[in-house]
Chains A and B, each alone.
Chain A
Amino acid sequence: MKKISVRTSDGQEFELEENLAMESATIKTSLDAFSRDDIILLPNVNSWEMVKIIEFFTKVQELETKFGVKFMEKKEGRFLEAFQAEFDKDLSDDNLYCLLWTVDYLGIEVLLENLCHLMAERTKNKTVESCRNLFGVQHDYTPEEEAEIREDYSWAFEGPEIEE
């Protein structure tokens, strides 16, 4: 299997299996335009992110063998849970954002879906304030504006709020 070389923003080089590299729409476009022997430069990708991406595909292969399911083709519920449990552990909130950006830039559809799921899990059942803290969102509503929104969607704001 041919290997594709990439260089991340901090100068590190990685050799990717061709089929793994082709999962990235961005890399694929570069390969189509240029020779496969050239190193592909990825100035928007950090080396730790590339490590994580390679780790993802390795874990996918492990779980595929274990469950006998082709992850890319089917989205079995059991498989997704197993995957998320393993991948979620070492990713801090900050790292998750960075990875979301990078994976979106690289156009790796299947990994992006999973990261979005992970992010969604982390926001579930949180209070508005703790969500703001989690995302680092700047609160820019006046009290009147906020009250208006809560009124507009009153059904969503009724009921007990969970305190972290």
Chain B
Amino acid sequence: MEMDRISSLPNDVTEKILSCLPLRDAVRTSVLSSKWRYKSAMLQDLEFDECSWRTSQYREYDDDDYQIHKTFVNMIDHVLLLHLVPIRKFKLACTADEVATRDIDRWMTHLSRNSIKELIIKLWLDHQYNIPFSVFSCQGLVHLELLDCLLKPPSTFKGFKSLKSLRLLHVDMAQDVFENLIRCSPLLERLTLLSCDGVTSLKIDAPNLQYLHVLGEFDVVNLDSASSITEAEIWMGIGNDEIGVPASWIPACSSSNLLMIFDHLPHIRRLKINRRFLEYLSLGALPEKLTNPCQHLKALSVDICFDDPDAIPTALCILRSSPALQELEIEVDPTEKLPRIHSIVEEVNSPCVNDNYNCTFSQLRLVKITEISGVKAELDFIRFLLLSSPVLERMTVTPRRFPEPSYVDGVPKLVKELLQFKRESKHAEIILLDP
């Protein structure tokens, strides 16, 4: 057997092996032999995660907080100081025990001088961490991910010219800061924006954006300048003190939110929308079909409230305009419809609001319906899907865990009914899952 075979493995292989280890173990390899002395100091990606650090330190959880703080900070300072190559990726995930704001500021200053490409900061501190100006000067950034931070860039900030992926969770920033950040990062392809207070208007100017995932209470959604989106998940919420449909949601006379959104999603392939966003889309004059069909929409996931008379027509409009649809997922959401307190627009009752839906889903293979109670409207819809899907392979139906008292014995009845429904597709399989 050849001795020391592993040391002479190519550098990229040993780097791969070391990068799979917790940092502590990777650093300890420096003492194996002289060939290993500097391998860990040449790792390009560094992750400082409180969890993995604690485990590898085998420390008891009730250690002196100050000691823990000192050692974690100490470790990061040491690693950065002794590192031999520019750091490509830096991830920091920690709680208030481990670090003070000035420590993080210091590390950010260091990284900003070293052409960092990926920066991930996830903090659970007593207060939001104010991202220092040094971060805004990192023009080499390709991926930025922040959790629980405050974003207040300097007035000289002109965007991140290389940024392709941005993920912001619980990040506070002003509306204009958000719009500026997106508009001035021209290469942006992926955007995740979840629960970011301060962003009330989802107006996105990102011509190269392909992936969008948002969650928030938005006054308006405007994707006019984001027409390259192929995958989107939009979860719209409403403030606790709102008593009805917000005035800002209602479109101008004779226009339709549905058309305004879908006119600018010509390349959409996967779409997931929640109940409130469907409600937002249903406002305005509802067409039977979209002006521009979604030629590429393959997978659609939508939350439908079967008690809301606008929900089905809106969903049907999308379905009718998606000739390539293969996968459909519906979650029944019984949340009550928002009352219309600002009735400004006269809504035309569309011709599709009747039982004769009349369309064929020529590519639909998989359907998943969850949280059903067994009400007539749900069963009608299922029956309609079965009759309109000639290539359907499988439909999975999952009842609600705690159905309304009147439907408590609905499940066995449901099973019987479903299995008796006529199916257009000879090979269709209906599976009833446990809640």
Contacts and interface: CB of A to CB of B under 8 A. Distances in A.
A150 B31 CA distance: 7
B27 A135 contact: no
A20 interface: no
B13 A112 contact: yes
Contacts, number: 104
B27 A131 contact: no
Given A119-B17, A125-B25, A135 B31 contact: no
Contacts of B346: none
Contacts of B58: 159-160
A66 interface: no
A153 B30 contact: yes
A150 B27 CA distance: 10
A120 B31 contact: no
B214 to A, nearest CB: 23
B124 to A, nearest CB: 22
Contacts of A155: 24, 71, 74-75, 78
A119 B13 CA distance: 11
B90 interface: no
B20 A120 contact: yes
Contact of B21 (A112, A123, A139): A123
A141 B34 contact: yes
Contacts of B106: none
Interface string A96-120: 0100110010000000110011011
B36 A137 contact: yes
A140 to B, nearest CB: 5
Interface in B216-266: none
Interface residues of A, number: 37
A136 B5 contact: yes
B13 A128 contact: no
Interface in A113-164: 113, 116-117, 119-121, 123-125, 128, 131-132, 135-141, 145-146, 149-150, 152-153, 155-160
B74 A156 contact: no
A156 B16 contact: no
A94 interface: yes
Contacts of A159: 57-59
B24 A137 contact: no
Contact of A128 (B3, B4, B31, B34): B31
Given A104-B9, A112-B16, A136 B3 contact: yes
Interface of B: 1-7, 9-10, 12-13, 16-18, 20-25, 27-37, 57-59, 71, 74-75, 78, 82
5 contacts: A104-B10, A112-B16, A116-B20, A136-B2, A137-B7
Interface of A: 94, 97, 100-101, 104, 112-113, 116-117, 119-121, 123-125, 128, 131-132, 135-141, 145-146, 149-150, 152-153, 155-160
Given A120-B21, A155-B74, 7 more contacts: A132-B33, A136-B3, A141-B34, A149-B31, A152-B82, A157-B31, A158-B57
